[in-house]
Amino acid sequence: MNATDMQEHRLSWLGPTLVPGLVALVLLFAGGVYLDRQNSVLNEERARASVMAEMSLVRAKLEGNINGNIQLVRGLVSVISTEPNMTQGRFAALVSILFEEKSQLRSVAAAPDLVVAMTYPLAGNERAIGLDYRKNEAQREAVLRARDTNKLVLAGPVDLVQGGRGFVGRFPVHADTPAGRAFWGVVSAVVDVDRLYADSGLTDNNLGIEISIAGRDGVADEGTRFFGPDLSNDNPVTAQVVLPSGYWEIAAIPKGGWSTAHGGSWLMRALMVLAGALILLPIGITGRLLGERQQHYRELKTRESALESLSRRLGLALDVSKVGVWEMDLATGQETWDDRTNEVYGLPADGGPRSHEHWRRAVHPDGQASAEDNFRRMIRTGRYESTYRVLLGDGTLRHVRSVAALYREPGIPDRVVGVNWDITADVVLNEDLRRATQLTEARNHELELARVRIEHNALHDSLTGLPNRRYLDEMLRRHAATGFGDSGSMALLHIDLDRFKQINDTMGHAAGDAMLVHASAVLRDNCSNDDFVARIGGDEFVVLTKASAGDIYLGELAERIVEQMRLPVTYEGHECRFGVSIGIAAERTAPLDAKRLLINADIALYRAKGRGRNRYEFFSEALQAEVVKTKRVADEILNGLERNEFVAWFQPQFDAHTLDVVGVEALARWQHPTEGIKAPDAFMPIAEELNVVATVDRLILEQSLAALARWDAIGLGVPRVSVNVSLRRLNDEDLIDGLKQLSIEPGRLSFELVESIYLDEGDAVVGWNIDQIKELGIDVEIDDFGTGYASIVSLQKLRPTRLKIDRQLVSPIVVDQGQRRLLASIVDIGKSMGIEVVAEGVETMEHAAILRDLGCDILQGYAFSRPLAAADFEAFLKAQAWRQAS
C-alpha cells in the first residue's frame, strides 16, 4: 500500500461515522467542560473554607496569647500605680509571680521617669539598668508615643540586644502623687517571638496551610510582612489579628498551593473521559468495519488494473528485449512459438505449428546432442536453463539462452513454458572482455617482471650478476645496528684484481669481462651462502661476512681466494693469469661503523698491494699509523716537486783500461727541507704510488742535460750522461714528443732501463718508445742485469748499447771464483752480441782490476767515487783524484 492508499484508507473508515461521531464528541465535550467547571467551583469553596478554619484557629491563639501577656503586665502596671516607690526586690517578686503563669513573656523592665530602674529577670539584663529612653535613639520614639498617647504601644518583632527576637510592649504608668495622679514612667515587656509563634501553632509542622503575617508594629496598612512567604499573588484567605494598638493581617493558602487542594477534580475528569469513550467506541468500531469493506473492494479494483498494466508492460518488455516465448504441451508434444522465438531460430513468423524437432534441427550440429541431453535431463526437475549455439540457414551462428519451467494446473495437460533470446552480442562481448582481461593480465605480469628486473638491475652488476656498490651500501646500512647476520660483528674483504688492466688492454674487453665473471664465480664458490659478495668497481669486489668466526677463518677464506685466483684461466685458447690482493677489516662491536670498515679494508688492501700483490692483509692500528705517515711523506713529495727539491747527483763511470771518465750516471736526490738529503729508496716507492716517478725522471733528465751543456762550456769533457728511466715513463705515449723538444746530441745521452721492462713483450707502447728512443740517438742500457729474467732472446730483440751488471753480482767476485766465472760468461754474451758491458758497485780497486781482466768495458762504484752533488762532481773531475788512487 503506498502513501496515498494509506491516506485514502484512513479517510474511508472515518467517512461513514464522521458526522454522528463528531456530534457525540462535541456534546460529550461541552457537558464535560460544564461539569468540570461546577466541580472546580465547589472544590475551591470547600478548600477555602477548610483553610479559613485552620487559619482562624491560629489567629485566635495568636490574639489570645498576646492579649494574655498584656493582661499579665497590666496587672503589674496597676500595682506600680499604687506603689510608685517600689524597690527592685519588690518588683522582682511581683514579676516572678507573673512569670509563673503560662505566657510568652521573656523580660520586664520598669523605667520611672523613662530611666530603667528595675528589670526582671535581672541576670542578663544588668546592662539595661540606668538606660535613659529619652537618650536611646532606637527606643525613644515608641516610649514617647506610649507616654504621649497614654496607650500601650506594641512594637515588633525586633531583634533583641540579648539575642533572639521579641515583641516589645510599652505600658505608660500613672501613679498617685500628693499633687494628684501623674505620669510615673514606662513598663516594658518583651514577648518572645519564637515562643509566641510556637504556642500559637504557627510553626506546627502538622499545619496544613501556609501562613503569612504582615503589619510590623501592629501597622497592617503598611503591609510589612514579618512572618511567612509572600502569598499576595496566591489568592489567600485573610483575617485580622486585633492587637491593643493596631492589628496584623494574617493570610493563608493550603500547603503546596491551591491546586493540590483540588485532587478530586481529576478523578471526575477521568470518569467523564471513560464515559465518553464508552459512547464513542462502538461508533468507531462500526465505522471501521464499514471502512474496511470499502477498502477491500477498492484494493481489488487496484489489483485488477495493476495486473492489466503488468501484462501490458510484460508484453512491451518482451518486445523490447527480443525475448521469445514458447510453450510445449507435454501430452501431445505440440509446441507454440511466438514470433520472436521463430525469429531466434530463423523460422518464418507464420504462426504455424512447431515441434521439438524444429528446435533440435536449429541447434548447431556440434552441440545438438548435449543440448538435447540437457533439455531432457533438466525438464524432469521442473526447471530448465541452457545456452547453446544455433546455426541459421544462411550460415549465421547465433548464441541462444533458453529458460523454461514445468507448468502444472488441474484440468489441463502439463506443459512447459519457456523463454529464449539471442545472447550472441553478450557472448561476443564477454569473449572480448575475457581476451582483454587476459591481455591486461599478461601485460601486468610483464610489467611486474620488468619492475623486478629494473629493481634487480639497480642493485646488481649486469656482467657478473653480483650485487653492486649501491646494494653494498644498502647492506652496510641494514646491518650496521646488529652486525652481519645479527652476529654483532662484520668483516669486509676488499678484493682487487692484479694485472686486470693489462689483460683488458692487451687481450680486449671481452677477455676482461670473462676474467671478471670468472673472478665472481671464484668468490661465490669460496664464500658461504650467507656471505654477501658484491662487485663494486671495475676490478674490485667486496665480501661481507660475519667476523665472529675469528681472524683465522677470515685469513683462510682470503688465502683460498688468493690461491684460486692465481690459477690460469683459458680464454679463447690463451692462458690468462691474474691475481688478487685482499684487504680485510673487521668490526666486532655493534653498532658498526660501516664507513670506517670500508676505509680500513681499503688501507689493508693498499698494504697488500704494496707488499707485492697476490696476498691479503688485515687492517691494524700500526698499519693505519704507517698509512698516515706515508700520506705525510706523499704530501711532502708533491710539495717538493713544486719547490724543485729533487736534484740530480752524479756518479762518474770509467774506462776499465785507461780510467778516463767515459760517462756519468745521474741519480735522483731529495733535498728535504728539514731532514736533509734523501736517497731514492726513501721516496721512490711513495713517488711510485703517487705516480710521479716519471716526473722525477723528467726533472733529472733536464738537469742532466743542463749539466752536460755546462760541463762542455767549462771544458770538463764529460762524454755522456746516463739517466734512469722508469717503466711508467716508458709507457708514456707522449715521452717521445717530450724528448724531441729537448736538444739531445746523439751518443751523449743514455737511458738505463731495468731489465724487467723487457719481459712485457706484449706492450706495444714500450716497444715503440724504445725504438723511437734509439732513433733519437739515445743509447739504451739494461740496468741491474742479472737480477731479472732478461733472456738472450730479449737481448737480441732489444739490442741495447750496453748492459750493466748488477752490483749484487759484482760484489762477491773478489772472494768467489764461481761468481767470477758467471761474470765472465755475461761479458762473453755481451761481447758476442756487440754490447758494451758496464759493472756497477765497484767498491775496491781489487774489484776494478778483476773486472778489467774479465773484460768489462766500463766501471762505476765507490772505489772511484760516490754519487756527488753537481758542484762536488765538478771539483772531483778537476782534481783528477782517482788517477792517484789507482
Piece of 61-69, 114-122, 367-375, 696-704 that binds ligand C2E (CB under 6 A): 696-704
Piece of 39-47, 542-550, 818-826, 860-868 that binds ligand C2E (CB under 6 A): 860-868
Q: For residues 771-790, which are near Ca ion according to CB under 5 A?
A: 783-784
- Compose the 665-704 pattern: x for residues touching Ca ion by CB under 5 A, - for all others: ----------------------------------------
Residues in the chain, overall count: 886
Q: How far apart are CA 29 and CA 280, in angstroms?
A: 12
Measuring CA to CA, which residue among 706, 685, 760, 686 is closest to residue 730? 760
Q: Which of 192, 539, 783, 857 is catalytic?
A: 539
Considering the complex, state which of residue 1 and residue 679 has its C-beta at the smaller distance from ligand C2E: 679
By CB under 6 A, residue 693 contacts ligand C2E = yes
By CB under 6 A, residue 191 contacts ligand C2E = no
Residue 864: what residue type? F
How far does the chain reach from its first CA to its final CA, in angstroms? 145
The answer to whether the Cα torsion of 86, 87, 88, 94 is positive or negative is negative
CB atoms within 10 A of CB 624: 15
Q: How far apart are CA 74 and CA 86, in angstroms?
A: 16
Piece of 463-471, 523-531, 694-702, 786-794 that binds ligand C2E (CB under 6 A): 694-702
Considering the complex, state which of residue 402 and residue 726 has its C-beta at the smaller distance from ligand C2E: 726
Residue 710: what residue type? R
By CB under 5 A, residue 200 contacts Ca ion = no
Residue 862 binds which one of Ca ion, ligand C2E, none, with CB within 5 to 8 A depending on kind? ligand C2E
Q: How far apart are CA 431 and CA 437, in angstroms?
A: 10
The answer to whether the Cα torsion of 312, 316, 318, 324 is positive or negative is positive
Considering the complex, state which of residue 400 and residue 666 has its C-beta at the smaller distance from ligand C2E: 666
Q: Which of 172, 218, 291, 867 binds ligand C2E (CB under 6 A)?
A: 867
Rg of the chain (C-alpha set) = 71
**Closest separation in Å from C-beta 667 to ligand C2E:** 4
Residue 861 binds which one of Ca ion, ligand C2E, none, with CB within 5 to 8 A depending on kind? ligand C2E
Residue 328 binds which one of Ca ion, ligand C2E, none, with CB within 5 to 8 A depending on kind? none
Q: Which of 200, 328, 861, 870 binds ligand C2E (CB under 6 A)?
A: 861
Q: In the structure grid, which three cell numbers stand for residue 873, read together?
A: 762532481
Residue 867 binds which one of Ca ion, ligand C2E, none, with CB within 5 to 8 A depending on kind? ligand C2E
Measuring CA to CA, which residue among 637, 509, 489, 500 is closest to residue 554? 489
By CB under 6 A, residue 783 contacts ligand C2E = yes
Considering the complex, state which of residue 212 and residue 651 has its C-beta at the smaller distance from ligand C2E: 651
Is the peptide bond prior to 673 cis by the omega test (within 30 degrees of 0)? no
Q: How far apart are CA 210 and CA 228, in angstroms?
A: 7
Residue linked to cell 500613672: 174
Residue whose CB is nearest to Ca ion in the complex, by number: 752
- Compose the 820-859 pattern: x for residues touching ligand C2E by CB under 6 A, - for all others: --------------------xxxx----------------
Helix (H, G, I), strand (E, B), or coil: what is residue 535?
A: strand
Considering the complex, state which of residue 75 and residue 680 has its C-beta at the smaller distance from ligand C2E: 680
By CB under 6 A, residue 697 contacts ligand C2E = yes
Q: Which of 317, 677, 679, 792 binds ligand C2E (CB under 6 A)?
A: 679
Contacts of 31-40 spanning 24+ positions with Cβ under 8 A:
31/272, 32/269, 32/272, 32/273, 32/276, 35/268, 35/272, 36/265, 36/268, 36/269, 36/272, 39/264, 39/265, 39/268, 40/262, 40/265
- Compose the 725-754 pattern: x for residues touching Ca ion by CB under 5 A, - for all others: ---------------------------x--
Measuring CA to CA, which residue among 829, 732, 717, 806 is closest to residue 773? 732
CB atoms within 10 A of CB 665: 25
Considering the complex, state which of residue 461 and residue 784 has its C-beta at the smaller distance from ligand C2E: 784
φ/ψ (deg, to 5) at 800? -70, 160
Piece of 199-207, 359-367, 689-697, 819-827 that binds ligand C2E (CB under 6 A): 689-697
Q: In the structure grid, which three cell numbers stand for residue 834, read together?
A: 756487440
For Ca ion (CB under 5 A), the number of binding residues is: 4
By CB under 6 A, residue 862 contacts ligand C2E = yes
Q: In the structure grid, which three cell numbers stand for residue 654, read together?
A: 770509467
Considering the complex, state which of residue 220 and residue 666 has its C-beta at the smaller distance from ligand C2E: 666
Q: For residues 629-668, which are near ligand C2E according to CB under 6 A?
A: 651, 667-668
Considering the complex, state which of residue 192 and residue 840 has its C-beta at the smaller distance from ligand C2E: 840
Angle of helix 509-526 versus helix 551-565 axis, rounded to 10: 150
By CB under 6 A, residue 704 contacts ligand C2E = no
Considering the complex, state which of residue 160 and residue 647 has its C-beta at the smaller distance from ligand C2E: 647
Considering the complex, state which of residue 414 and residue 702 has its C-beta at the smaller distance from Ca ion: 702
For ligand C2E (CB under 6 A), the number of binding residues is: 23
**Closest separation in Å from C-beta 687 to ligand C2E:** 9
By CB under 6 A, residue 872 contacts ligand C2E = no
Over the range 249-286, which residues count as b (16 or more CB within 10 Å of their CB) and which as e?
bbbbbbeeebeebbeebeebeeebeeebeeeeeebeee
**Closest separation in Å from C-beta 688 to ligand C2E:** 9
**Closest separation in Å from C-beta 760 to ligand C2E:** 17
**Closest separation in Å from C-beta 809 to ligand C2E:** 12
**Closest separation in Å from C-beta 806 to Ca ion:** 6
Measuring CA to CA, which residue among 825, 800, 790 is closest to residue 722? 800
CB atoms within 10 A of CB 463: 13
Measuring CA to CA, which residue among 246, 247, 249, 243 is closest to residue 228? 249
Q: For residues 711-730, which are near Ca ion according to CB under 5 A?
A: 724
- Compose the 712-751 pattern: x for residues touching ligand C2E by CB under 6 A, - for all others: ------------x-x-------------------------
Residue 542 binds which one of ligand C2E, Ca ion, none, with CB within 5 to 8 A depending on kind? none
- Compose the 401-430 pattern: x for residues touching Ca ion by CB under 5 A, - for all others: ------------------------------
| Contact assessment for residue 339 and residue 318, using Cβ atoms and an 8 Å cutoff | no
**Closest separation in Å from C-beta 796 to Ca ion:** 22
By CB under 6 A, residue 696 contacts ligand C2E = yes
Considering the complex, state which of residue 12 and residue 860 has its C-beta at the smaller distance from Ca ion: 860
Annotation marks residue 737 as catalytic:
no
Q: CA angle at residue 629 from 627 to 631, to 5 degrees?
A: 70
3 state SS for 324-371: EEEEEECCCCEEEECHHHHHHCCCCCCCCCEEHHHHHHHECHHHHHHH
Helix (H, G, I), strand (E, B), or coil: what is residue 397?
A: strand
CA dihedral of residues 434, 436, 437, 443 (deg, nearest 10): 150
**Burial (Cβ within 10 Å: 0-12, 13-18, ≥19) of residue 19:** exposed
What are the residues facing 667 on neighbouring strands? 649
Residue 464 binds which one of Ca ion, ligand C2E, none, with CB within 5 to 8 A depending on kind? none
Piece of 153-161, 632-640, 679-687, 876-884 that binds ligand C2E (CB under 6 A): 679-687
Residue 318: what residue type? L
By CB under 6 A, residue 781 contacts ligand C2E = no
By CB under 5 A, residue 468 contacts Ca ion = no
Residues that bind Ca ion (CB under 5 A): 724, 752, 783-784
Catalytic residues: 539
Residues that bind ligand C2E (CB under 6 A): 651, 667-668, 679-680, 684, 693, 696-697, 700, 724, 726, 752, 783-784, 807, 840-843, 861-862, 867
